[in-house]
Structure 1
């Protein structure tokens, strides 16, 4: 087939999406959402923004096409006077193997002035994402969407018919966490540690990693309770510290409640609680975290007083200790709950070798390392997800 071959036009519908829990209608088409509508009604602006960034969301279909096009419009954020985050990427997988990437272009820019708090919106162009040169045979195709940009999807075009994939028989993995799980500073959608681990283990991932918004909200626990899952994991800690939202007395109760709610819908599903990977600025210093633009680059710093940890202000060290204690306590009556120390995924020595550029979020090399270590601990014999 060549470029003159007429293209079959297929509107993007929910049946083509994997990893999304809902959609919203936009002027161009559908916006994938990672929370259902009822839960979005409880969400604050940070969580609303994060859940509309389609980490782990992909179009999945079967086709013999050699050429595929997707109409898409991105919305991305930037701070005025600061180097922007690298553009997101659309990533193609064919029969589960990487087959190409296209950088996101144009779209709507949301410009934030950190000094004044003002926000400006700069509308941009809609993009046609194109993959060509594909083998002329029937194949399973996935297009993974940029994991840190809101994306509105219009029309799918291909030089052969497109059909939604039949029911996915892979085990379903439901994961909750922070920006570390959403994939901040990973360079492409399947480069996040959680996506790497899921693809390596052959699991159907739903990623509920929400940048800056993993606050153990009860309504998010209800979402987890109601979603089908063969394995569930929670990455807990960092946002509670860097937002300084509670003290230790509240954390203990809230984590128990979060786990109780999940267990109402998944009484025997393997449930792995993962504490935060290493973050030097918050290991012993409470939040809140503050942004620092001193040299034109965006970095974070902790502003709390380490002495106040004794009075219950949260640090990563104290949260890890309490999380491990809570899981051990519950394991006495729940043989299907497990704990994984985040330092086993990314520790102090790793941070020296791969220092986070912004003092907070692990970089691409760290994502690869975390995925490898998670797989070795969670999926190996005796691990929480062994046999999944």
Structure 2
């Protein structure tokens, strides 16, 4: 199967064959987004609704919620060729090794068939030492997949999980239509950069995407890099989004931002869960604590960049807190896990559909010995697969909280 990517200076108006069909990108073709914003170039998928975005001016949150992790175009068509014009915003961390271009995954009838990238686009340069950011504009690009089988099929184009992506134009050589609802359950997940997909190989191979495929569910991924901070607007987004299954993976960002003390965390977790339950009173709800992260197991945050191996092309992170500060309420992953477990156990007395999963069951000490975290915080592509497979086994298996048999009992 052939693919191609080009830059189209400034717009998507380059001449096309007369028999190509342009189809507007509308909500019924786009899965995994909570909002679509019309821009001067096209449409920008968002993973938080506009009301939530208006309540927080944090640049990190604005960047990551507009990176379309888990968002995909889903089409039913006989097309043998598909083109998508996009305007990416690629993030560059000043002083860090350059990141590869974001990846578009093409799935046909649920199976990965091709993969491509688009060059060009805007460039957002972030200074990790000061937090300042500057955007340099760039051109629209095109990703083109050809040689698709000439039959009616379901085509999914998973957008890059780590690039803000404006959708400018969709073209095919035969008509497309939305894929009817197949009755699959909807899994709504919230988490940190690991859930977002940091250092995964591609958008359909982040651990939530892999787990969703293994569990045969429709994914809505609200993994927000650096931003799983118990924000009330995120809880309301979870509350207001239709879902059959919900999970929240929280803890690491509370430690590595050094945002809260234990006194604030406990009522914030209760409030977050209370808000979700307002919209989903009996939906299976799984609270997942952090995976193993040795630098923060017993040492509080914040996390700070470690440039000592930058000459070898490696950016790492270290914990800048003092373990003695735990006595004053500073958070570590050990403290967070104990408190999350206690809260869930307390609430489960009156909420039988609330469950807890220790993140070290997804990635623990033996895994770290075999597959260490390359930057001390984020798993690599192989580890994403392991975490996804473990989550699917623990959550979707017949004895898990997301098993189909259990979910039917809640309806």
TM-score (norm 2): 0.91
Match of 2:26 among 13, 18, 24: 13
Give the distance between the partners of 2:401 and 2:52, measured in 1 at CA: 28
Check whether the contact 1:76–1:149 (CA below 8 A) recurs between aligned residues: yes
Q: What's the CA shift for 1:178?
A: 0.3
Q: What's the CA shift for 1:291?
A: 1.2
Match of 1:112 among 121, 126, 130: 126
- The answer as to 2:194 corresponding to 1:180 is yes
Identify the residue that residue 209 of structure 1 maps to in structure 2: 223
Query: Where do residues 151-190 of structure 1 align in structure 2 (5 Å cutoff)?
Result: 151-190=165-204
Query: Where do residues 54-133 of structure 1 align in structure 2 (5 Å cutoff)?
Result: 54-114=68-128, 119-133=133-147
Check whether the contact 2:118–2:142 (CA below 8 A) recurs between aligned residues: no
- The answer as to 2:284 corresponding to 1:270 is yes
Match of 2:267 among 253, 262, 265: 253
Give the distance between the partners of 1:58 and 1:90, measured in 2 at CA: 9
Given the superposition, is the C-alpha separation of residues 110 and 94 from structure 1 closer, same or farther in structure 2, using an over 3 Å criterion? same
Give the distance between the partners of 1:363 and 1:86, measured in 2 at CA: 14
What whole-Å deviation, never above 9, does each CA across 1:253-280 have from its counterpart, x for those lacking one? 1001100111111111000000000111
Q: Which moved more, 1:21-30 or 1:48-57?
A: 21-30
Identify the residue that residue 328 of structure 2 maps to in structure 1: 311
Give the distance between the partners of 1:84 and 1:275, measured in 2 at CA: 31
Give the distance between the partners of 1:170 and 1:102, measured in 2 at CA: 28
Match of 1:194 among 208, 214, 229: 208
Q: What's the CA shift for 1:292?
A: 1.9
Give the distance between the partners of 1:84 and 1:186, measured in 2 at CA: 16
SS of residue matched to 1:42: coil
Give the distance between the partners of 2:352 and 2:360, measured in 1 at CA: 23
What whole-Å deviation, never above 9, does each CA across 1:344-369 have from its counterpart, x for those lacking one? 00012211211112110011111111
SS of residue matched to 1:198: helix
Identify the residue that residue 53 of structure 2 maps to in structure 1: 40
Identify the residue that residue 385 of structure 1 maps to in structure 2: 402
Match of 1:372 among 386, 389, 409: 389
Identify the residue that residue 298 of structure 2 maps to in structure 1: 284
What whole-Å deviation, never above 9, does each CA across 1:125-179 have from its counterpart, x for those lacking one? 2111111111111111110000011000011111100112223421010001000
Give the distance between the partners of 1:166 and 1:381, measured in 2 at CA: 27
Give the distance between the partners of 2:129 and 2:284, measured in 1 at CA: 46
- The answer as to 2:314 corresponding to 1:301 is no
Query: Where do residues 16-31 of structure 1 align in structure 2 (5 Å cutoff)?
Result: 16-31=29-44
Unpaired runs of 5+ in structure 2? 1-15
Check whether the contact 1:58–1:145 (CA below 8 A) recurs between aligned residues: yes
What whole-Å deviation, never above 9, does each CA across 1:268-323 have from its counterpart, x for those lacking one? 10000000001111000000111122332321111001011122110001100110
Given the superposition, is the C-alpha separation of residues 113 and 231 from structure 1 closer, same or farther in structure 2, using an over 3 Å criterion? closer
SS of residue matched to 2:156: strand
Q: What's the CA shift for 1:61?
A: 1.1
Q: What's the CA shift for 1:86?
A: 2.3
Given the superposition, is the C-alpha separation of residues 327 and 186 from structure 1 closer, same or farther in structure 2, using an over 3 Å criterion? same
Given the superposition, is the C-alpha separation of residues 378 and 118 from structure 1 closer, same or farther in structure 2, using an over 3 Å criterion? closer
Check whether the contact 1:168–1:204 (CA below 8 A) recurs between aligned residues: no
Given the superposition, is the C-alpha separation of residues 341 and 115 from structure 1 closer, same or farther in structure 2, using an over 3 Å criterion? closer
Given the superposition, is the C-alpha separation of residues 115 and 184 from structure 1 closer, same or farther in structure 2, using an over 3 Å criterion? closer
Given the superposition, is the C-alpha separation of residues 243 and 114 from structure 1 closer, same or farther in structure 2, using an over 3 Å criterion? closer
**Count of aligned residue pairs for this structure pair:** 387
Identify the residue that residue 143 of structure 1 maps to in structure 2: 157
- The answer as to 2:243 corresponding to 1:226 is no
Structural RMSD (CA): 1.6
Give the distance between the partners of 2:213 and 2:257, measured in 1 at CA: 32
SS of residue matched to 1:287: coil
Identify the residue that residue 356 of structure 2 maps to in structure 1: 339
Q: What's the CA shift for 1:15?
A: 2.1
TM-score (norm 1): 0.96
Give the distance between the partners of 2:55 and 2:358, measured in 1 at CA: 31
Give the distance between the partners of 2:262 and 2:133, measured in 1 at CA: 35
